[in-house]
């Protein structure tokens, strides 16, 4: 991962001596002081404090602190390589899967520290689900894809032995599959071919299947890493509608490249800029209409990035 | 080049020139396969083909094609037909033609003209340098046709004029007397014809494409295509040869009808059931016996089948397990690289080494007295199969996309469960491919069996390895015993070796030892191919589960 991109250009706005510094003489510390004053009405679901992530020698995320309120959509935006995906992946400890990654700081889910020793990764990832950039259904049937998580967690038992013991959960499975697919707005399209291989679906359908697969585990938080970037506009708008619906029951954190998308679907927006800094975090309207930082204004108005 | 040719984007009709060139290419292919047939004795050189003596026919065809190819070159050079030749046929063609003509010149000079070694060398050098110069210096249409056409003409006239007849042979004088080497017409002539057919066909294909880039494309295409066809032809010839030789002994006095066949009693753990086969196939159903007319290979088929099953049962779980550890758990680095190199080396270890290991390590371990046994053979072959299973399973698992592992981990599924329900199913087709390849090798292994398993190669049908019937239950440890596994038995390749080389067949009542050997070979081929078929069906099954049709 290359986290150090060429410095941003802000020509045409305020006078800047060096592109490396923050605009208009603001220091990073001052910026952080300013946006620390945000306040959201809802309960805090995820509280991140002073999170640093290193990949080997590369300092990918620099002392990020933010509180994510529950049952809302939080968008993370910023140019490529600014650390927003890294931030997202540290919320369910997927960064642990990268050998060279080292993480400092604290992330609390409902007040419980997820980085303390002895944290149960299985339980954490059941509660914090994730949808990836490229649709990645398993090469199995649609039904098996959706019921994969609960089956592996032992919540659903099917097969010969449970049937002999009278503990067969096939009906529960069917119900769960239908419910999850309906929640992901996919059921009507695939109800007649649940036993077909999921790789036969279109890209947008595959992505909604991945969302259904995530919902089947009954998570509280859903992390989405650019869920629509590999899809066409129609499939994208379906995913966006879905995200807004999901926010009624779940806490959704979504990384996106697309600023219009962030503006359309999110309740609050965090802007990461080059170098792994969280530059500003506030209500979406505020970020897009009247941001505190000049750099953020330049970025959201398309002057750089 | 000052010459401007009109080129058209679309060629609407084939000119007479192209038609003749195409015909020549086809003729070259026919000649190539005719020579291949002569090489494997399907067509005899001393006989006639369609009423013409074979060598005369080959010679005539060569002369016709030589004239045609030289004609294309000259006509193209005189610009009778529109072609786009380059300035030269190129260095590689020049070296190739130079080499061919050097050999030809040296042989003709020293042997046919009787000039001795030095004279031959001089003639060869003159011919080689001349041919190289003719190829490289003039324009492409001359350079790639004249040396090729001349080669065909020389060989054609050699056969036509009887310089090399069907009974011709040549023993080079410079070998010591006790190590004489003799070349016979029946092997030299077809080779010469094949070589000239390739060269002439290549030149004709170039002419067909009008030389230049298009011509080179056609020339290369012809060579590659003939090469592929020749490989298939050799394979088909090999299998056909075995079938041809083995068919008669294998199918001797086969009878169909209710009740003609032998009885089979299946007994497992004390229950038994008897069926009478509606077919009597002596070669497949008999063992060695003084009371039957035809000695068969039934015990050897059973032995080979059990060997393969035993080796697969032993090697697949171990190999897949090792591959899982190496790809999913072990830190990728020095250790895994060493293991990889070691597995590759193990796979290329000669089978006799495995056999010797089995004889020294396994044979003395299962019985009070050292005794070759089916179990020792199974384990030895299992060890041989193991490295290939590890290699292919590892490759298949590395090829499983990391996205699947990520997706599974993000759902909170543990690593082992991810391996079991995602990684292994996705790599099953690759694993099965490895097992197929390995079974093809171990089923035909003879050397390890000589040392670890082979008993008497001619066993009565009643004394075959009855592994299924051999299981016995008991109330004391080890609860299940099977004396059949510790008995020496026979297998198809082992029996083939014995019957052809050691003459054990004659004492066992085999009338025609060679025919029996060919029959055994055919059965071995069939057994290996049926294992192969089972493997391919299994792979197809696993593939169909992974793909969307």
Long-range contacts of the stretch B270-274 (C-beta < 8 A, 24+): B270/B473
Yes or no, beta carbons of B410 and A125 under 8 Å apart: yes
Concatenating the DSSP letter of every residue in B55-82 gives: HHHHHHHHHHHHHHHHHHHHHHHTTSS-
CA distance B504 to B488: 17
Q: How far is CA B413 from CA A126, A214, B178, B320, B399, in A?
A: 9, 12, 75, 21, 21
Q: What pLDDT is attached to residue A213?
A: 93
If one compares B34 and A39, the residue with the highest pLDDT of the two is B34
Q: What is the three-class DSSP state of B199?
A: helix
* CA of B375 vs chain A CAs: smallest distance (Å): 34
Grouping H, G, I as helix, E, B as strand and the rest as coil, residue B545 is: helix
- Min Cα distance B548 → chain A (Å) is 5
Q: In whole angstroms, what is the distance from residue B524 CA to residue B492 CA?
A: 6
Nearest CA distance, A256 vs chain B (angstrom): 19
Q: Does the ipTM exceed 0.90?
A: no
Task: For chain B, give the longest Cα–Cα distance.
Answer: 100
Cis amide bond preceding B478, omega within 30: yes
Q: Is-cis flag, bond preceding B359, omega within 30?
A: no
Listing DSSP states for A266-302 in one string gives: -SEEEEEETTTEEEEEEEHHHHHHS-SSHHHHHHHTT
For chain B, the residues whose C-beta falls within 8 A of a C-beta of chain A are: 401, 403-404, 406-414, 417, 421-422, 425-426, 545-549
**Does A231 touch chain B if contact means CB atoms closer than 8 Å?**
no
Segments in B411-512 forming alpha helices (H) = 415-418, 424-443, 447-452, 467-470, 492-497, 504-507
Stretch B157-184: mean pLDDT, rounded?
80
Chain A residues whose beta carbon lies within 8 Å of the beta carbon of residue B406? 94, 97, 132, 136
Q: What pLDDT does residue A4 have?
A: 40
Residues linked to residue A112 through DSSP beta bridges, in sequence order: A109
Tokens for B323? Answer: 């591959």
Instruction: Tell whether A96 is within 8 A of chain B (Cβ).
Output: no
Q: Mind telling me how many Å the CA of A106 is from chain B's nearest CA?
A: 20
Instruction: State whether residue A98 sits within 8 Å of chain B by CB.
Output: no
Query: pLDDT at residue B2 above 70?
Result: no
Average pLDDT over every residue of B449-476? 74
Rg (CA), chain A: 21
Distance of residue A15 Cα from the nearest chain B Cα, in angstroms: 45
Pairwise CA distance, residues A25 & B192, whole Å: 88
The three-class DSSP label of residue B263 is strand
Of A11-15, B4-8, B149-153, the least confident: A11-15
Q: Do A217 and B403 touch (CB under 8 A)?
A: no
Residue B7 has pLDDT above 80, yes or no: no
Name the residue with tokens 């619906």.
A245
Chain A: residue nearest B546 by CA?
A139
pLDDT at residue A3, rounded to an integer = 39
Chains A–B, number of C-beta pairs less than 8 Å apart:
76
Q: Is residue B383 scored above 80 in pLDDT?
A: yes
**Inter-residue contact B504 to B486 (CB < 8 Å):** no
Give the three-state DSSP class for A43. coil
**Pairing label, strands A101-109, A221-225:** unpaired
Band (B9; pLDDT cuts 50, 70, 90): low
Please check whether residue B461 is in contact with residue B415, taking contact to mean a CB–CB distance below 8 angstroms.
no
Confidence band (pLDDT; 50, 70, 90) for B288?
Answer: confident
Contact A92 B404 (CB under 8 A): no
b vs e for B224-263, b when ≥16 Cβ sit within 10 Å of the residue's Cβ? eebeeeeeebeeebeeeebeebbeebbeeeeeeeeeebee
- Rounded distance between C-alpha atoms, residue A106 and residue A116, angstroms: 9
The answer on pLDDT for B419 being more than 90 is yes
Tokens of B114: 């009787």
d(CA A207, CA A213): 10
Q: Give the model's confidence band at B1: pLDDT under 50 very low, under 70 low, under 90 confident, else very high.
A: very low
Tokens of B250: 């294998």
Please give the DSSP secondary-structure letter assigned to residue B483: G
* Chain A residues inside the 8 Å CB shell of B409: 94, 97, 125
Domain ranges of chain A: 40-300
pLDDT tier for residue B424 given thresholds of 50, 70 and 90: very high
Scanning the structure block, which residue is given the tokens 């290991």?
Answer: B357
The whole-angstrom distance between B399's CA and the closest CA on chain A is 14
- Quick one: average pLDDT of B40-68? 85
List, for residues B187-218, the tens digit of each pLDDT value. Answer: 888 888 988 999 999 999 988 888 888 888 99
Query: Could you tell me the pLDDT band of residue B8, with boundaries at 50, 70 and 90?
Result: low
Burial B351-377 (b: 16+ CB within 10 A, else e): beebbbbbbeebbeebeeeeebbbbbb
Structure-block tokens of residue A31: 């910026």
Which range is most confident: A221-235, B309-323, B504-518?
B309-323
CB distance A125–B421 less than 8 Å?
A: no
Residue A99 and residue A267: Cα distance in Å, rounded?
A: 34
Residue B486 has pLDDT above 80, yes or no: no
* Per-block mean pLDDT, blocks of 10 residues, chain A (305 long): 40 40 49 57 84 88 88 90 88 86 89 87 90 91 91 80 75 89 89 90 91 92 89 87 90 90 90 84 87 84 71
Give percent above pLDDT 70 in chain B.
93
Cβ neighbours of A100 in B, within 8 Å: none
Element (H or E) spanning A103, and its range?
Answer: strand A101-109
| Chain A residue closest in CA terms to B549 | A200
Whole-prediction pTM: 0.77
Chain A, nearest residue to B543 by Cα: A139
Token couple for B203: 């030149």
The verdict on a CB contact (< 8 Å) between B410 and A214 is yes
Tokens of residue A286, six digits: 């505020």
- Describe chain B by its helix, strand, coil percentages, rounded to 5: 65, 5, 25
Q: Which of residues 148-177 of A touch B (CB under 8 A)?
A: 148-149, 152-153
> Which CATH architecture describes the domain A40-300?
3-Layer(aba) Sandwich (3.40)
Among B332, B399, B412, pick the best mutation site for testing chain A contact (most A Cβ within 10 A).
B412
């Amino acid at each position: 991962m290359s986290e150090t991109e060429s410095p941003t250009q802000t020509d045409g706005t305020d006078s800047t001596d060096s592109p490396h510094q923050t605009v208009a003489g603001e220091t990073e510390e001052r910026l952080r002081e300013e946006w620390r004053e945000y306040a959201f009405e809802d309960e805090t679901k995820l509280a991140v404090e002073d999170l640093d992530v290193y990949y080997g020698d590369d300092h990918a995320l620099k002392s990020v602190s933010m509180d994510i309120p529950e049952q809302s959509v939080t968008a993370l935006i910023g140019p490529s390589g600014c650390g927003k995906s890294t931030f997202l992946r540290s919320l369910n400890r997927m960064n642990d899967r990268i050998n060279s990654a080292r993480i400092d700081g604290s992330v609390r889910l409902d007040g419980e520290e997820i980085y303390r020793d002895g944290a149960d990764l299985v339980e954490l990832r059941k509660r914090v689900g994730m949808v990836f950039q490229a649709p990645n259904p398993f090469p199995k049937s649609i039904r098996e894809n959706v019921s994969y998580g609960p089956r592996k967690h032992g919540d659903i038992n099917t097969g010969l032995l449970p049937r002999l013991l009278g503990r067969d959960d096939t009906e529960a499975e069917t119900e769960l599959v239908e419910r999850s697919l309906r929640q992901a707005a996919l059921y009507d399209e695939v109800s007649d071919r649940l036993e077909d291989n999921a790789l036969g679906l279109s890209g947008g359908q595959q992505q909604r299947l991945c969302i259904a697969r995530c919902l089947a585990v009954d998570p509280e938080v859903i992390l989405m890493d650019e869920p629509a970037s590999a899809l066409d506009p129609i499939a994208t708008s379906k995913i966006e509608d879905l995200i807004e619906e999901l926010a009624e029951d779940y806490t959704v954190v979504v990384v996106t490249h697309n600023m219009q998308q962030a503006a359309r679907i999110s309740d609050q927006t965090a802007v990461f800029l080059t170098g792994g800094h969280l530059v500003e975090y506030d209500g979406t309207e505020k970020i897009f209409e009247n941001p505190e930082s000049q750099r953020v204004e330049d970025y959201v108005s398309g002057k750089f990035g | 080049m000052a010459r401007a040719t009109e080129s058209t984007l679309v060629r609407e009709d084939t000119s007479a020139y192209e038609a003749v060139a195409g015909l020549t290419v086809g003729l070259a292919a026919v000649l190539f396969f005719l020579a291949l047939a002569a090489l494997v004795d399907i067509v005899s050189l001393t006989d006639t083909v369609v009423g013409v003596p074979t060598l005369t026919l080959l010679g005539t065809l060569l002369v016709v094609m030589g004239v045609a190819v030289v004609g294309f070159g000259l006509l193209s050079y005189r610009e009778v037909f529109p072609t786009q030749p380059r300035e030269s046929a190129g260095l590689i063609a020049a070296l190739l033609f130079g080499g061919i003509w050097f050999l030809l010149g040296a042989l003709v000079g020293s042997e046919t003209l009787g000039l001795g070694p030095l004279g031959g060398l001089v003639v060869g050098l003159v011919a080689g340098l001349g041919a190289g110069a003719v190829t490289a210096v003039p324009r492409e249409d001359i350079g790639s046709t004249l040396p090729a056409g001349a080669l065909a003409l020389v060989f054609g006239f050699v056969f036509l004029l009887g310089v090399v007849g069907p009974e011709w042979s040549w023993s080079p004088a410079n070998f010591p007397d006790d190590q004489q080497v003799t070349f016979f017409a029946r092997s030299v002539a077809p080779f010469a014809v094949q070589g000239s057919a390739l060269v002439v066909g290549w030149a004709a294909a170039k002419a067909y494409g009008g030389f230049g880039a298009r011509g080179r494309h056609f020339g290369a295409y012809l060579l590659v295509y003939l090469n592929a066809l020749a490989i298939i032809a050799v394979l088909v010839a090999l299998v056909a040869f075995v079938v041809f030789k083995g068919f008669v002994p294998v199918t001797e006095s086969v009878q169909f009808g209710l009740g003609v066949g032998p009885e089979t009693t299946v007994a497992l753990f004390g229950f038994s059931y008897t069926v009478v086969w509606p077919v009597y196939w002596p070669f497949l159903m008999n063992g060695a016996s003084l009371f039957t007319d035809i000695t068969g290979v039934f015990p050897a088929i059973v032995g080979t089948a059990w060997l393969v099953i035993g080796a697969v049962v032993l090697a697949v779980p171990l190999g897949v397990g090792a591959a899982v550890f190496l790809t999913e758990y072990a830190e990728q680095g020095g250790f895994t690289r060493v293991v990889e190199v070691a597995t590759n080396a193990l796979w290329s270890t000669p089978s006799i080494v495995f056999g010797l290991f089995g004889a020294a390590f396994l044979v003395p371990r299962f019985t009070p007295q050292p005794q070759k046994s089916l179990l020792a053979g199974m384990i030895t072959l299992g060890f041989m199969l193991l490295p290939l299973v590890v290699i292919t399973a590892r490759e298949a698992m590395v090829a499983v996309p990391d996205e699947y592992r990520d997706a599974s981990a993000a759902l909170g599924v543990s690593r082992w469960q991810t391996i079991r329900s995602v990684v292994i199913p996705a790599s099953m087709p690759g694993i099965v491919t490895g097992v197929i390849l390995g079974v093809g090798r171990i089923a035909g292994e003879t050397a390890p069996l000589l040392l670890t398993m082979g008993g008497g190669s001619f066993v009565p049908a009643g004394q075959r390895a009855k592994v299924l019937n051999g299981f016995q239950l008991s109330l004391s440890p080890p609860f299940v015993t099977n004396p059949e596994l510790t008995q020496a038995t026979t297998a198809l390749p082992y029996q083939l070796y014995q019957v052809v080389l050691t003459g054990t067949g004659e004492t066992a009542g085999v009338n025609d030892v060679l025919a029996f050997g060919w029959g055994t070979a055919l059965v071995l081929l069939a057994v290996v191919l049926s294992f192969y078929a089972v493997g391919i069906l299994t792979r197809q099954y696993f593939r169909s589960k992974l793909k969307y049709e």
